[in-house]
Structure formats: structure tokens, C-alpha cells
Chain A
């Protein structure tokens, strides 16, 4: 199975700063259609899990433009520019290239 590694368990950031969350896959997530099957999700207490990014870099409808997905092959990044207090959450990456589908272990974003 494909393993996704999110090295950072926690990241501390001040409001207004930029933060990057990385996700490394044990094999390339590039399919023959030219798309990377990597997506990002936000989990906030008391709220439903929210899809942020799919195909590595495409923002889901309604997601603020400060959320930016990038990367290719096996290395992916979710960047949040101008962090807001409401961005404090757990963030997970997910690969949907091959079953079993697998999630990264999650990165908790905390406010300094």
C-alpha cells in the first residue's frame, strides 16, 4: 500500500504568517491522465471534515485563496498564507491513486 508521511505532528504559527504542511508519498501519485491523486482535508472540532485541495493543487469550491496546494510525484505541500485564527485545525493528506486509500497521519496547526 502507499504510505503517506506527514513529518510534522504540530506546527506553531502566528496570525498573518505563512505556514507549509508537507506530505510525502512512498510512490508517485501521478496517474496516466497527468493528474496527481492527492487531496488535502481540514478537521476542526465540532465541524464536518472539509475538503480543501484535490489533484494536488486545485482548490475546492468556496475554499479561501490563502490555501494553496503544490507538489508533484511524491512530494506535496499545503501552504496557508496569512493564517487566520479559524485555520487552527488538523490537516490530513489523502491518496486516491490506489486502493487501499491511505491518509497521512495528520498535522495539527496551532497558534503561537
Chain B
């Protein structure tokens, strides 16, 4: 199992960014997936979840601004980040849902700053 995030970078407040998580080594379409983030020097925060049937749930802090989606044909999970704020600055991880969050990616950094 391998999860590889990409798409991070430096972005101005109010702008948008789209993160990707490329999955391999398992049947991607059969698993729910999460995005989790970690602000610099802080703990882990759950961001969003998408089920294998594409049902979604969001943390209140990102609801209405972030959109989680998946493309099973491309074995890829996405997170669209809109109306970014400085407090969204963090490392963003994707994780597979097994009995727990059983596999994680290495993370991608998003910095929101003018």
C-alpha cells in the first residue's frame, strides 16, 4: 500500500489549491479515505472523509470551503481547498480507512500567506 500526496505550495489568502493523493497497492475503489492536517508544531486534525460510494463528511472548520472527491479510475483522492485562510497552513495527509486509519501518506505542505 502506498499513498502519495501532491499539489501543495504557497498560496495567498482567499485563493484556491487542489491536493491529490495517488493510491497504489490496493483496490482503491473499495475503501473510504480521509484527509487529516497538522499545523506547524501542532497536533493532528481530521478534515474530511469520503466513503467508497462517495458520501462525504467535513469538519466544521472547512465545511463550505473544502471539497473532498475521488476518481476511482485514476486511483486518486482529491481535496479542493477554496477561500484559504492563514489558519489552513498545515501539512495535509491522506489516510485509508481500514479497521482504523491503517495507511497514511507522507503529507504535503500548504502555506497560506500573503
Contacts and interface: CB of A to CB of B under 8 A. Distances in A.
A41 B38 CA distance: 14
A58 B99 contact: yes
Interface residues on B, range: 20 to 34
Interface residues of A, number: 22
Interface in B74-110: 93, 95, 98-106
A100 interface: yes
A102 B49 CA distance: 13
Instruction: Give the secondary structure class of B's interface.
Output: strand
Contacts, number: 56
Contacts of B93: 49
Given A54-B100, A100-B60, A92 B105 contact: no
Contacts of B71: none
Contact of B44 (A50, A92, A99): A92
B31 interface: no
Contacts of A39: 99-101
Interface of A: 39, 41, 48-51, 53-55, 58, 60, 92, 94, 96, 99-106
